[in-house]
Structure 1
Amino acid sequence: MWSDLPEEKKEEYKRLILAFASLTGMFAQKSYDNDSNVSPIINSKFQETAFQKAFDAYAEDIGNTSYDVSLEENGEKYLVGIKTFGISSGDQKVAQFKAKHDEWAEIIEKIKENASGADDKDTINLLNTNLYMTLARRIAMIRNARIDSSRANIRGFKVKIDDSHVHSVYHVLMPSGKNEEPKIFVGETAYDKIDIENLSIIGCTGKNNPTNFFFTDGKHVYKYTSADSQLHMNFDNKNIVCDEWDVKYADDAHAIFGKIADVIYPENKEFSVSGDKVDFIISKDKFDEPVVEESYCWTIWNKNREVELFSGFNSFYGTGSKMQIAQRIKKIDSLDNLFNDCDEEFDSYNVDIANKIKQGVKDFLLKSSATNDARMEKVKLRNELIELADKVGSSKLTDELKKILYRPMNEVYISIPDAKSFHKEHPYFFGPGYGEVKDGSHSLRLPKEERQFNLVFEPSGDSLPAYITQDEGKAIESVEKQSYLGEWILREVFQLGEYEPLTTERLEELNINGIRLTKYRGSKDIHLEFIWIDEENPPKGYISGKR
């Protein structure tokens, strides 16, 4: 990536980083006779914003997840993990699996038990190799799912999955060490998925820490630490350097900060601070950035931290058929032809299975499921029928049965929590009157054609026409087939298999638990991005809902 970025943008980035590093004397905790003794300081948050500014990059907002920014240059899309650490430092944290800590506790305890009587590392490794491999595989699967999900977000739903123009890289800045000539080394290495097929265990980090261990996939060396459930990676620092910058320290960093203070908080009374009001000088290009008019976010799971099983992103999992009764009966009668078309010859065993399937389908399609308990009974029945079909050994029978028992497998919609209140409190967010209902009814007043807007997915920028729908405007659906959007969201963003429901566990694995909708000044478009929401410290615009 670095070699392909425009020189003028790289120079601007370099200028910003070196300007910050030149003020190292302000942040050093001790006084030194010679500033050159100090290692250059880079603030990681400043590094991210400087990168965004210099390269017109988009800030990812998915919490503790795969990438920090994304950018596009000459038709190539880059997902970038940004890091800063010393040129001589060791392994760096690349992922955390807090939600899996309890799930993996049994394996961790077994590793401790095996190691308790061992005299050395070799013995510990011999006793725990299989357990280390089990953990390494689980870590790799979750890590890879997060990477695939993030790649899907930037690639968007209009690009084929085998698109070769999306790249993922780590961009790192590595300051020189203490008592060395002050420099900043620019490094870059591939942000690869872990090659699960080539995993091998190196062993524990030490006799006293048997639950911390190293493993490799032949490309990178990783370290898992159990106490905080973190994954670290060896960046091979000195071998990934692609550029280096000389750092010059400011003679009087305090004086520079004093001048900044004079500009922001001048002593001249005409521009002085008055009450809570502060006048800031803003550069011209600040006005060129889009201004957020309204922005709201909410969690995908409900107040009980559960993903609704039969609605929203799990709409396809619903148990209530949308077919008319006559159509359902026709489907039941068509099963006989389906059995006759099976490749396998039906003996008495398969005939018995066929009868059970037909009766089960009849119960599934014709019996009501108005309560949650009734719906869960139908889920159980559906699973049993699919298992019976599998026993027949005909993939055609199984596939056709799934089409009868499930709604279209890519059918989804975006839920708006407490929609009635949302539309009342934010009546112009989607459009005037979009959420208004008819008098004495839950149905929306405006026709479908007058409830449409352009939905833009960030960070890919892909868009499609969508509209507000369902009772009290509680859902957002694509104007085109729901499956058009569902395949991308379910298979790629959430990394789900066919007919696999979205769960809280999957959201925690991917570090995606919410969505944010944003509207910019001067535009009617609604921008959507998948994010992570810390419910104990919710972001601006957070809506808890009453689900």
Structure 2
Amino acid sequence: MFYESQDINKKNEYRDSLKIIGSLSNLFSDSNVPYLYYRIAEKIFCNSFSANDLSRGDVALDAIKNNIGIGLKTFLAGNNKSFQKVAEFNKDKPLYENKSPAKLIQAVAELRNERIKFTENLYGIDKSIYHCVIRDENSFKLYEENMNYVDIDNITDVKKVKNSIRFNDAIHDYSFNISKSTLTKRFNTSSLLDEFNVEILKNPLEDIRNCILQNELLYSSDNNIKDTVYLPLYGKNKTVYEKSGLNQWNANGRLRNENEVYLPIPVNVHKKSPAFFPDRDSPFNLKLPKGDVLQVKVCQDNSKALMSYSNRELGQWILRDVLSLEEGELVTYEKLQILGVDSVRIDKIDNINFEINFASLGSFENYLESN
């Protein structure tokens, strides 16, 4: 697992940071069980172990370090075998609704597996795990286990109980909540990696105020993202055209490389963020989630396309490395829907350095509607 292989100083830093946040629990609750908001837990983990934070990526994992993908979770100890949410499929109901329980569970399991695979391909991950911070009375406990694909061939004991469907795949127990479209998995957490006490401050607000006044703390932001736009991976009516965009390699005319693609830049993006991209045909750097950097440019009439300078590099990344498509296989909106993505997010660092990542279903429409 991940935690046991880390440097002792990093582990101490991690524990200390969790203790500090846990000590502030009386800001939120009167319970003896320390409070820990999941976003804070993610930040502490990434900062302590110098892991890459994936929380902005709309993917199945929260962090990556040394090609290990990590799903970060925090929950109450309870009976040490509780069900916890591992995936949500609100936007995918048309793919499984009105099916029998067995067919519904097979569809959900396929969606779950495809999204883990997509994330692993996107970031070059060799192995994925869960890292859990378990909240118990005056203590935190740490637990890890492998993030397994659902073993579809061995799904058994499919049983509908009220608004949920429970099943087993010979590895784990699962439950799918039909109304909430959430998949939960049982975590058996009796075997722990670590456990430590948390001293909860009686009056944390007063302690924080005194600390700030005594040390004259200065506040600053390390956010280096200047601006962000979203680009769709489809055209009108949620259609990925067969001879343009991600299927540009299939266009008529000259002989084309099987990886030739471009990302469409709708005119609404230029209107909304006119100074975001460099001028047409001006080269700039585009950093991929794995850290590789492509040289790209805005091109075509009305600056309507984003392409790599070697027009096969962008396609190699999207079509082969991430989507795992065979040469000659068309990208369809249905394929994107299965993976839970239909847009890309472009972050501007400065005038020549940009970063790209995939974005969840509906992200482009939400971007256009935002102020």
Equivalent residue, structure 2, for 1:510 = 339
Equivalent residue, structure 1, for 2:62 = 68
Question: Structure 2 matches for 1:7-156, cutoff 5 A?
Answer: 7-28=8-29, 30=30, 38-61=32-55, 65-71=59-65, 76-88=66-78, 90-108=82-100, 131-132=101-102, 134-155=103-124
In structure 2, distance between residues paired with 1:455 and 1:520: 10
- Note the alpha carbon deviations across 1:320-345, whole angstroms, 9 max, x for none: 3326xxxxxxxxxxxxxxxxxxxxxx
- Note the alpha carbon deviations across 1:362-418, whole angstroms, 9 max, x for none: xxxxxxxxxxxxxxxxxxxxxxxxxxxxxxxxxxxxxxxxxxxxx644321122221
Deviation at residue 22 of structure 1 after TM alignment? 1.0
- Is residue 173 of structure 2 the alignment partner of residue 221 of structure 1? yes
Deviation at residue 194 of structure 1 after TM alignment? 1.8
Equivalent residue, structure 2, for 1:301 = 234
Question: Structure 2 matches for 1:163-174, cutoff 5 A?
Answer: 166-174=126-134
In structure 2, distance between residues paired with 1:95 and 1:424: 33
- Is residue 293 of structure 2 the alignment partner of residue 463 of structure 1? yes
The verdict on how the C-alpha distance between 1:183 and 1:226 changes in structure 2, with shifts beyond 3 A counting, is: same
Question: Structure 2 matches for 1:37-436, cutoff 5 A?
Answer: 38-61=32-55, 65-71=59-65, 76-88=66-78, 90-108=82-100, 131-132=101-102, 134-155=103-124, 166-176=126-136, 180=137, 182-197=138-153, 199-204=154-159, 206=161, 209=162, 212-239=164-191, 241-259=192-210, 281-282=218-219, 289=222, 291-302=224-235, 304-318=237-251, 320-322=252-254, 408-418=257-267, 421=270, 425-426=274-275, 429-431=276-278, 434-435=279-280
In structure 1, distance between residues paired with 2:244 and 2:214: 54
Deviation at residue 39 of structure 1 after TM alignment? 1.3
Q: TM-score scaled by structure 2?
A: 0.86
Alignment root-mean-square deviation, CA: 3.1
The verdict on how the C-alpha distance between 1:93 and 1:421 changes in structure 2, with shifts beyond 3 A counting, is: closer
Paired letter, 1:416? I
Q: Which runs of 5+ in 1 are unaligned?
A: 31-36, 109-130, 156-164, 267-279, 324-406, 436-447
The verdict on how the C-alpha distance between 1:470 and 1:174 changes in structure 2, with shifts beyond 3 A counting, is: same
The verdict on how the C-alpha distance between 1:98 and 1:503 changes in structure 2, with shifts beyond 3 A counting, is: farther
Deviation at residue 171 of structure 1 after TM alignment? 0.9
Deviation at residue 303 of structure 1 after TM alignment? 5.9
- Note the alpha carbon deviations across 1:512-534, whole angstroms, 9 max, x for none: 2221222324x722211112265
In structure 2, distance between residues paired with 1:494 and 1:62: 19
Structure label with greater radius of gyration: 1
* Contact 1:65–1:95 (Cα < 8 Å) also in 2: no
The verdict on how the C-alpha distance between 1:536 and 1:314 changes in structure 2, with shifts beyond 3 A counting, is: closer
Report how many aligned residue pairs link the two structures.
Answer: 367
- Is residue 306 of structure 2 the alignment partner of residue 476 of structure 1? yes
- Note the alpha carbon deviations across 1:444-476, whole angstroms, 9 max, x for none: xxxx6xx22222112x10112223322232222
Aligned mate of 1:524, from 347, 352, 359? 352
In structure 2, distance between residues paired with 1:52 and 1:534: 28
Q: TM-score scaled by structure 1?
A: 0.60
Kindly indicate which of the two structures has a greater share of residues assigned to strand.
2
* Contact 1:148–1:492 (Cα < 8 Å) also in 2: no
Structure 1 residue matching 2:190: 3-state secondary structure? helix
Q: Which runs of 5+ in 2 are unaligned?
A: none
Deviation at residue 184 of structure 1 after TM alignment? 0.6
In structure 2, distance between residues paired with 1:299 and 1:260: 47
Between 140-149 and 466-475, the greater mean CA deviation after superposition: 466-475
The verdict on how the C-alpha distance between 1:80 and 1:259 changes in structure 2, with shifts beyond 3 A counting, is: same
Equivalent residue, structure 1, for 2:329 = 500
Structure 2 residue matching 1:105: 3-state secondary structure? coil
In structure 2, distance between residues paired with 1:263 and 1:303: 59
Structure 2 residue matching 1:468: 3-state secondary structure? strand
Structure 1 residue matching 2:98: 3-state secondary structure? helix
* Contact 1:64–1:96 (Cα < 8 Å) also in 2: no
